Amino acid sequence: MDRVLSFSPAFVIALMVTAAQAGDTVHGKALFTANCSVCHNADKDGANKIGPNLYGVIGRPAGTHPGFNYSSAMKSAGLAWTPDKLAAYLAGPQKMLPGVKMTFAGFGNPSDAQDVISYLGTLKDGGQPPARTAAE
């Protein structure tokens, strides 16, 4: 017996929005390479550079990557790098955490930040982009 699947327009739109919110990992990697890789390594077990290695950063408590000399502002931030915290940070690091060492002014386009976050979410064992939170 052949079955025809039909989906409501609302269901199809919900799937498209969810996919868009996840971020474009390919674009995120290109943005990371162009904007972040001068200061940050993203290789598993890679050395720190001017900034800490960002492999596995999502979920990591701020200011804790081994071997990096963090600012007191970062060490005392008291947060974990969730996608929403990273989005706020990448919009303006000094605005979110005054006194951090990162001199990057921030991404002007929130979707660029989300794409970088999506790419960073693949940099872990199991490598899946992070789910977005309701706050995003």
Question: Tokens 């800490």 correspond to what residue?
Answer: 52
Nearest-angstrom CA–CA distance, 107 and 90: 6
Kindly report, residue by residue over 78-105, the tens digit of the pLDDT.
999 999 999 999 999 999 999 999 999 9
Asked if residue 105 belongs to a domain, the reply is: yes
What tokens were used for 113?
């930040």
Conformational region of residue 78, where left means phi above 0, alpha means psi within -120 to 50, and beta covers everything else: left
Asked if residue 135 belongs to a domain, the reply is: no
Asked if residue 112 belongs to a domain, the reply is: yes
Mean pLDDT of the chain: 84
37: domain CATH number? Answer: 1.10.760.10
Asked if residue 67 belongs to a domain, the reply is: yes
Question: Per the structure, how many domains does the chain have?
Answer: 1
Kindly report, residue by residue over 2-25, the tens digit of the pLDDT.
555 455 544 433 333 343 346 899
Nearest-angstrom CA–CA distance, 17 and 30: 22
Asked if residue 10 belongs to a domain, the reply is: no
Asked if residue 129 belongs to a domain, the reply is: no
